[in-house]
Amino acid sequence: MLPEARADLRAIRERGAEWSEDFAESLSLALFRRLRQIRDFPESGRIIPEYQVRYLRELLEQGFRIMYEVHPDRIEVFGVLHSRQDIRLPQ
């Protein structure tokens, strides 16, 4: 997971905790379940519609997009954004 994605997850948790610690915990657990899914089944995510590139994929969870790049030897999660945010591609 790229540092930017880790920062996204921390920010999501912190914002959620402002409303409810239980909500923040539940959302964090759901996002981490999706991260395990990506690790175990990298092709399970859909191709990011804006780019239509086979190796750029995403999984959706409770209004968030977990975006990642599939490499032959690894998976790189490059962003976890609310579905209303503009996406940024890995450099």
pLDDT in tens, 14-52: 998 888 999 999 999 999 999 999 999 999 999 999 889
In what helix (H) or strand (E) does residue 54 lie, and over which residues does it extend?
none
Q: Which CATH architecture is the domain 3-82 placed in?
A: 2-Layer Sandwich (3.30)
Q: Which residues, 6+ apart, have CB-to-CB distance to 38 below 8 Å?
A: 44, 45, 59, 66, 68, 75, 77
Cβ neighbours of 65 (radius 10 Å): 18
Per-residue pLDDT at 83 exceeds 90: no
Domain segments of the chain: what residues?
A: 3-82
Predicted local confidence at residue 91, as pLDDT: 55
Q: Which residues, 6+ apart, have CB-to-CB distance to 8 below 8 Å?
A: 79, 80, 81
What is the pTM (predicted TM-score) of this model?
0.86
Q: Are 44 and 38 in contact (CB under 8 A)?
A: yes
